[in-house]
Amino acid sequence: IQKKYSVIASVLENANIGENAEGWVKNLRVQKELIFADVNDGSCAQKLQIIIPKELKTDALTYGSSVHIRGKLSKSPRGQLELVAENVKVLGPCVVLDGYPFNPRTTHPPEYIRQYIHLRSRTNFLSSILRVRSSVTKHIHDFYSSKKYLNVHTPILTSNDCEGAGEVFKVQPDCEDTIKAMMQDGKDKDTVYFGSKTYLTVSGQLHLEAICRGMGNVYTLGPTFRAENARSRLHLSEFYMLEAELAFCYSLEQLQNHIEELLKYIFIETRHTNEADLSLIDKENSKPPAWLQKKFATLTYDEAQDILKKKKVVNTENGLNKEQELALVDYCNGAPVFIVRWPKDLKSFYMKECQDDNTKVEALDLLAPITGEIVGGSLREDDYDRLKSKLPSDKLNWYLELRKFGNIPTGGYGLGLERLLQTMCGITNIKDTLPFPRWPHNCSM
Ligand code: 4AD
Ligand code: MG
């Protein structure tokens, strides 16, 4: 079986279906003498057509049921591989009338599918997205591995708020015995466990910088948390961020070239591994985006503001709002665009001041179709005294001290994995890019 399986597997893009097909019935067509069942095992977008003689039919064989089918592989008159069943075993029936929410003859909109988070993986739409997500993760690790970057696991529990935006989730023990025992030290509830207020991390950057200043290029891909009250199609309370810190990074251009190379690599490799998934998620994805062949544009923040004024896309607040970000992508013919040299007061304390203008910092945002901001990054302030004057809290003295012993110039960035998937797959709502989305009022499983 193993030998035969591997032949079939290569034909069906590594599907775990061969002469013994195990999987879920995605569609069922009953004809006079024969039943046609499309079976998929989750490993790829393709389905294997199973031909079942009518005498093998049982009532439990419906769409949505899980099956184990033994049979003989053959080629259909159209040259397609199909399995002629000799034995059909329904492992798990799916009683459609008992409330199964999906129907193979209907294209359910994502908002409908999202109502059934625990059953979503039964749909072709979410299955394809999760396969793309898994492949993208692999390509990310391949990219950094080929460049000899160190993969660092930064902590999820931390006492600092890297972005300084106050959008942190506080962590404290919920165990009365532990609290009682530790309270004897005279601490309050917030600080009783670690001795200082502790949060779920909003970014691993500061920890990456610590390792980078001893070992060179580093990256991390892990969950980050933001207690934003943003119920938008672009924000999650828990999301995955890819962060890298480049050692000996002297210019924003060096950082931009690296980000552009990374993004193009991931897009191209995912087209190779998941073409069928990409077109299944959105037909518009059948062709790679034209911008993959071109260099990303760069605009300074001031240039971007001039363009927006001319386009009459104005904003009463400082910075760029979503409409403006998307207008700038539009201005660049739907291609990603770097916005560089931001006003200092719009960005975080750790960013390096521009040498020729101390009101600006060497920061970048990369704006992309569908999402707008997809990457945020900067050169890091490496002047000890300047950083000291901007340090938001003396809890970050350790971060300041990194500049004291064998300091090097570094630059880094964070790329939101979910926003990357939105741009890549044409997914409007970020909640459809991961299996269990968390957003305000939604963390029930
Ligand atoms: O621009 P941000 O806040 O940058 C940082 O956290 C830096 N410390 C990263 C670094 O330099 N190492 O976030 C980076 C990216 C954003 O561009 C966006 O793609 C994503 O993280 N992001 C979110 N994605 C989903 N939901 C949210 N609430 C997000 N907030 C940020
Ligand atoms: Mg940002």
Span 67-94, average pLDDT: 89
pLDDT band at 12 (very low <50, low <70, confident <90, very high): low
pLDDT in the model for residue 179:
85
- What tokens were used for 387? 């950083």
Domain match, 39 and 163 both: no
Per-residue pLDDT at 397 exceeds 70: yes
Instruction: Please check whether residue 368 lies inside any domain of the structure.
Output: yes
Closest CA to 376 of 176, 270, 239, 280: 239
Q: Which domain holds residue 63?
A: 2-100
pLDDT band at 77 (very low <50, low <70, confident <90, very high): confident
Domain match, 364 and 414 both: yes
Pick from 100, 116, 143: which residue ends a domain?
A: 100
User: Are the beta carbons of 342 and 305 closer than 8 angstroms?
Assistant: no
- Within 13 Å, how many C-alpha atoms sit on residue 362's CB side? 24
Domain match, 259 and 320 both: yes
Domain match, 76 and 211 both: no
Span 156-178, average pLDDT: 91
Give strand pairing partners of 311: none
Q: Which of 207, 231, 239 is the best mutation target for the ligand 1 pocket, counting ligand atoms within 8 Å of the beta carbon and taking the most?
A: 239
CATH assignment at residue 54: 2.40.50.140
Tokens 């591997």, residue? 6
pLDDT in the model for residue 20:
82
Question: How far is 38 from 106, CA to CA, in rounded Å?
Answer: 16
Helix (H, G, I), strand (E, B) or coil at 68: strand
CATH assignment at residue 308: 3.30.930.10
Instruction: Please check whether residue 106 lies inside any domain of the structure.
Output: no
Alpha-carbon torsion, ordered 128, 372, 438, 315, to 10 deg: -150
Closest CA to 379 of 355, 390, 363: 363
Question: For atom 11 of ligand 1, which residue has the closest CA?
Answer: 413
Among the residue ranges 74-83, 172-181, 297-306, 381-390, the one predicted with the least confidence is 74-83
Pick from 59, 83, 100: which residue ends a domain?
A: 100
Residue 165 vs residue 260, higher pLDDT? 260
Question: For atom 25 of ligand 1, which residue has the closest CA?
Answer: 235
Helices 417-425 & 252-281 angle (0-180, nearest 10):
50
DSSP code for 313 = -
Question: For atom 28 of ligand 1, which residue has the closest CA?
Answer: 235
CA 78 remoteness from chain centre: 39
Per-residue pLDDT at 5 exceeds 80: no
Among the residue ranges 70-74, 108-112, 142-146, 391-395, the one predicted with the least confidence is 70-74
Q: In whole numbers, what is the pLDDT of the chain averaged over residues?
A: 92
The pLDDT tens digits for 316-335 are 888 999 999 999 999 999 99
Domain match, 94 and 130 both: no
Give the number of the ligand closest to the Cα of residue 351.
1
Per-residue pLDDT at 159 exceeds 80: yes
ipTM: 0.99
Output the DSSP codes for 71-125.
EEEEE-TTS-EEEEEEEEEEEE---GGGT----TTS---HHHHGGGGGGGGGSHH
Domain match, 147 and 40 both: no
State how far the alpha carbon of 427 is from the alpha carbons of 10, 110, 111, 278, 411, in Å: 29, 9, 12, 11, 30
pLDDT in the model for residue 183:
81
User: Are the beta carbons of 49 and 82 closer than 8 angstroms?
Assistant: yes
Question: For atom 24 of ligand 1, which residue has the closest CA?
Answer: 416
Instruction: Please check whether residue 196 lies inside any domain of the structure.
Output: no
- pTM metric for this prediction: 0.95
Cα of 365 vs centre of ligand 2, distance in Å, is 7
Domain match, 150 and 58 both: no
Give the number of the ligand closest to the Cα of residue 416.
1
Instruction: Please check whether residue 190 lies inside any domain of the structure.
Output: no
Pocket of ligand 1 (CB under 6 A): 162-163, 203, 205, 226, 228, 235-236, 239, 241, 243, 373-377, 412-414, 416, 418-419
Please list all protein residues whose beta carbon sits less than 5 angstroms from ligand 2, which is an ion: 376
Per-residue pLDDT at 2 exceeds 70: no
CB atoms within 10 A of CB 77: 5
Among the residue ranges 73-87, 160-174, 384-398, the one predicted with the least confidence is 73-87
Cα of 101 vs centre of ligand 1, distance in Å, is 35
DSSP code for 417 = H
Q: Which of 241, 338, 410 is the best mutation target for the ligand 1 pocket, counting ligand atoms within 8 Å of the beta carbon and taking the most?
A: 241
Domain match, 321 and 355 both: yes
pLDDT band at 164 (very low <50, low <70, confident <90, very high): confident
Instruction: Please check whether residue 34 lies inside any domain of the structure.
Output: yes
What's the domain count of the chain? 2
- Which H or E element spans position 205? helix 205-215
Among the residue ranges 229-233, 249-253, 356-360, the one predicted with the least confidence is 229-233
Per-residue pLDDT at 407 exceeds 50: yes
User: Are the beta carbons of 215 and 245 closer than 8 angstroms?
Assistant: no
Among the residue ranges 16-25, 93-102, 164-173, 247-256, the one predicted with the least confidence is 16-25
The pLDDT tens digits for 413-442 are 999 999 999 999 999 999 999 999 999 999
Atom of ligand 1 nearest to the CA of 419: 19
User: Are the beta carbons of 65 and 93 closer than 8 angstroms?
Assistant: yes
Percent of the chain with pLDDT over 90: 79
Domain match, 76 and 212 both: no
Cα of 61 vs centre of ligand 1, distance in Å, is 47
pLDDT in the model for residue 9:
45
Among the residue ranges 129-143, 144-158, 162-176, 327-341, the one predicted with the least confidence is 162-176
Instruction: Please check whether residue 192 lies inside any domain of the structure.
Output: no
Question: For atom 14 of ligand 1, which residue has the closest CA?
Answer: 414
Domain match, 96 and 129 both: no
Per-residue pLDDT at 201 exceeds 60: yes
Span 237-266, average pLDDT: 98
Domain match, 79 and 145 both: no
DSSP code for 141 = H
Instruction: Please check whether residue 183 lies inside any domain of the structure.
Output: no
Cα of 346 vs centre of ligand 2, distance in Å, is 10
pLDDT in the model for residue 318:
87
pLDDT band at 1 (very low <50, low <70, confident <90, very high): very low
Per-residue pLDDT at 45 exceeds 80: yes
Give strand pairing partners of 135: none
Per-residue pLDDT at 388 exceeds 90: yes
Q: Which of 245, 419, 423, 429 is the best mutation target for the ligand 1 pocket, counting ligand atoms within 8 Å of the beta carbon and taking the most?
A: 419
Among the residue ranges 32-36, 160-164, 277-281, the one predicted with the least confidence is 160-164
Helix (H, G, I), strand (E, B) or coil at 346: helix
Cα of 73 vs centre of ligand 1, distance in Å, is 49
Question: How far is 360 from 345, CA to CA, in rounded Å?
Answer: 8
Question: For atom 30 of ligand 1, which residue has the closest CA?
Answer: 235
Instruction: Please check whether residue 187 lies inside any domain of the structure.
Output: no
Domain match, 95 and 130 both: no
Span 207-213, average pLDDT: 98
Question: How far is 72 from 87, CA to CA, in rounded Å?
Answer: 10
